[in-house]
Amino acid sequence: MKMINLGTTNITEKTKSLMAEALESGIIGSGKYVDEFEKEFAKWLGVKHAVAVSSGTMADACALAAIRNLDGGVRNEIIVPALTFIAQINAVWYNHLKPVFVDVDKNFNIDVKKIEEKITDKTLAIMPTHLLGRPAHMKEIKALAQQHNLFVVEDACEALGSKYYGAEVGTIGDAGCFSFFVSHSITTGEGGIVVTCNDKIADLVRSFRNHGRKSDQLHEKFLFPHIGFSAKMNSMEAIIGLGVVAELSSHIEKRHDNGLVLNNLAKNSWLKEESHEYIVAHAFPIMVESHEKRQQLLLDLPQKYGIEARQIFYSIPTQSEAYAFLGEKLGSYPVAEDIGLRGLYVPCHQGLSLDEIKYIGETLSAITGS
């Protein structure tokens, strides 16, 4: 049985040509290909700066390090959704910052009605996640940030190409973070990028991705005013990305259309777009009636039907073993916890044929009743 996977790779002829060129010249670390990829990505997204890093996790970490530095280390709380991939919360801890969790709404994103009650004089930033490609409620988040003098860092790792009132997600806050992991719209194997129109944030991210180096000028390469990370993108990853950027718009459109087809096939449309949204799905989510059935489907979908599936993460503060030390009580984030128990997602990427999308939708309807 052929497996329908959650991710795909797109190795173009341009990538093959550039890879041969790089290998012939011995350029495999950082260098001109990374610079070119940053320029092309920034141009595609319509931002002033794009700073390539080694992963989406490091994109989050470097962006947070930059705003912490700009704030002078005075404030240390980051408001985050309880339901997210654990890497986002790890990035907060890497910076010795405190995650302040907020429950999510039925659309899987941070509940904007519950943010303000978590804001204190220690709050540095709101860090929404555009989970599974669905845009968070950025108008309300930006208004709260402006009212309380907070930064906004968008975790858009799963949402490249999604739009909110016509604006590309990741470009709405002070900085946006993307991932190029194998299940995302651009995949370079690993890799990520921070985008911003703020010169100071961009310069700091460049420093923090390279051990806190002052600059890449020869006389400053071994001056380290900051404690940074080893988070540089290499040329091999950048070349794979360069080969995809020219085709990115078509990949984005295909992912979006695949989501629409799955919505039409499902009896319950879990990723139905609102009028202000353009959703480029990382994957297609569903909710089943019980935790037990969800667990069984995570086994049956790949083994019996050849469809790869994953659970929709869980409530980090109350369902994650890694963060049990926080001492938060189960029941504190009921929506996130429920999704963590009953939610799963299946493939929706640009590499799928229409027949495969139809098969996924019809299979879901038949075995889940949704």
Q: Which residues of 237-271 are buried (b: 16+ CB within 10 A; e: fewer)?
A: bbbbbbbbbeebeebbebbbebbbbbbebbeeebb
What pLDDT does residue 305 have? Answer: 96
Report residue 44 as tokens: 């595609």
What pLDDT does residue 136 have? Answer: 98
Sign of the alpha-carbon torsion through 191, 197, 198, 199: positive
Q: In this predicted model, what pLDDT tens digit does every residue of 2-48 receive, in sequence order? A: 899 998 888 889 989 988 998 888 888 888 999 999 999 999 999 99
Q: In this predicted model, what pLDDT tens digit does every residue of 220-246 receive, in sequence order? A: 989 999 999 999 999 999 999 999 998
How is the beta sheet containing 163-164 ordered, strand by strand? 167-168, 163-164, 277-278
C-alpha 260/C-alpha 281 separation (Å) is 10
Q: In this predicted model, what pLDDT tens digit does every residue of 312-347 receive, in sequence order? A: 999 999 999 999 999 999 999 999 999 999 999 999
Structural domains for the chain: 13-245 (3.40.640.10), 248-368 (3.90.1150.10)
Report residue 192 as tokens: 């990520």
Q: In this predicted model, what pLDDT tens digit does every residue of 275-310 receive, in sequence order? A: 999 999 999 999 999 999 999 999 999 999 999 999
Helices vs. strands in the chain: H and E counts, helices first = 12, 15
pTM score of the predicted model: 0.95
Q: Which of 60, 67, 124, 118 is nearest to 92 (CA)?
A: 60
β-bridge mates for residue 194, sequence order: 51, 177
Q: In this predicted model, what pLDDT tens digit does every residue of 66-119 receive, in sequence order? A: 999 999 989 999 999 999 999 999 999 999 999 999 999 999 999 999 999 999
Q: In this predicted model, what pLDDT tens digit does every residue of 153-204 receive, in sequence order? A: 999 999 999 999 999 999 999 999 999 998 888 888 899 999 999 999 999 9
What pLDDT does residue 330 have? Answer: 97
Q: Is the pLDDT assigned to residue 269 strictly greater than 60?
A: yes
What pLDDT does residue 231 have? Answer: 97
What pLDDT does residue 12 have? Answer: 86
C-alpha 102/C-alpha 271 separation (Å) is 21
Average pLDDT over residues 251-268: 89
